[in-house]
Amino acid sequence: MRQLIHIFLSCLMLTSCSTAAALPETPPEHLVPAEQAAQILPEVPEPGRMPELFPLDQEAEEGAAPEEGSPAPETPVEPLPETQRVVDPTRPMVALTFDDGPHAVYTDQILDILEKNGAVATFFEVARNLPKAPDAVRRAVDLGCEIGSHSYRHANLGKMDQAAQQADQAAADAIFQEVLGTTPTLLRPPYGSMNKTLKTTCGRSIVTWSIDTEDWLSKDADKVVASVQNAGNLDGQVILLHSIYGSTVEATEVLVPWLLEQGYQLVTISELIQLRFGDQVEPNRSYNYDYFRFHVPPLPAATEPAAA
């Protein structure tokens, strides 16, 4: 039962990172008895409402209020993950993205860095790699990170016809479903390669990047760090990294605290699009270099605290 609840929670957390374009599915109630579900679940976010980003804990507690007179559950229920993370839409944001994993060692090391700094990132995973580190992927979700698809086998989707693209996606989805209990709403095509068919029929939000660290090329932590630190204003930007190199882990160890010191909030892709761009994460739409690089809206003015 604990495992089922864990899977169910993972499913919920991933859903809470997704968007109005991919509404939460009906909770699989058969997994958890109703009275227990009431204890572990905050209310399911409504369409169009921003889930999870503003005081999450209160919401979870409201949902957890037991009905009067209801019997105490017999089995202990795992609590929702403790999280104090709040995204302030008046402050700059950056999305770190890690492709090509999960990796049996490095994914957890990256998660350690994120957790230590109270930060999150988005992982675009190659589906057939998931069995190498399924616990790490579930841990990422539990920490508030977002999981996107990077295809089943790192395929060049831009050179495929629709049938082949859909076959790849179906194979990938089966593994994501098995490991996470849900399927990704975001797709990052390997090599950034896409064609019109993919863009218009994949049913996912296609997300590329705006800052390329070329970590796969240099495999040099100092160069990766410099590529970000010398990139100018990073507000609204999506940084491309890969979770399969030790040098990238080293660079992440430096970059995460540095970005926070510079005043950037580290957010997921869906959070960036919704909260920094004031936009929706929609299927069959591309969010690319031009989008992130040249269409960052001005920051709204911070609201003054109410006079006492």
Residues taking part in catalysis: 99, 242
Residue 194 CB, shortest distance to Zn ion, in Å, is 13
What is the C-alpha separation between 165 and 156, in angstroms, rounded? Answer: 9
Residue 241 CB, shortest distance to Zn ion, in Å, is 11
Q: 263, 234 in Cβ contact below 8 A?
A: no
User: Is beta strand 93-99 parallel, antiparallel or unpaired with respect to 122-125?
Assistant: parallel
100 or 271: CB nearest Zn ion: 100
149 or 185: CB nearest Zn ion: 149
Is residue 157 classed exposed, middle or buried when 0-12, 13-18 and 19+ CB atoms within 10 A define those classes?
buried
Give the amino acid at 222.
D
What is the C-alpha separation between 167 and 163, in angstroms, rounded? Answer: 6
Q: 294, 211 in Cβ contact below 8 A?
A: no
What is the C-alpha separation between 198 and 186, in angstroms, rounded? Answer: 13
Residue 124 CB, shortest distance to Zn ion, in Å, is 7
**DSSP three-state, residue 206:** strand
**DSSP three-state, residue 147:** strand
Q: At what angle do helices 221-229 and 246-261 cross, to 10 degrees?
A: 30
Cα-to-chain-centroid distance, residue 193: 21
DSSP conformation class of 274: I
Q: 187, 149 in Cβ contact below 8 A?
A: yes
Which residue has tokens 């761009």?
A: 277
Which residue has tokens 């009906």?
A: 26
Name the residues that contact Zn ion, by CB under 5 A: 99-100, 190
Residue 151 CB, shortest distance to Zn ion, in Å, is 8
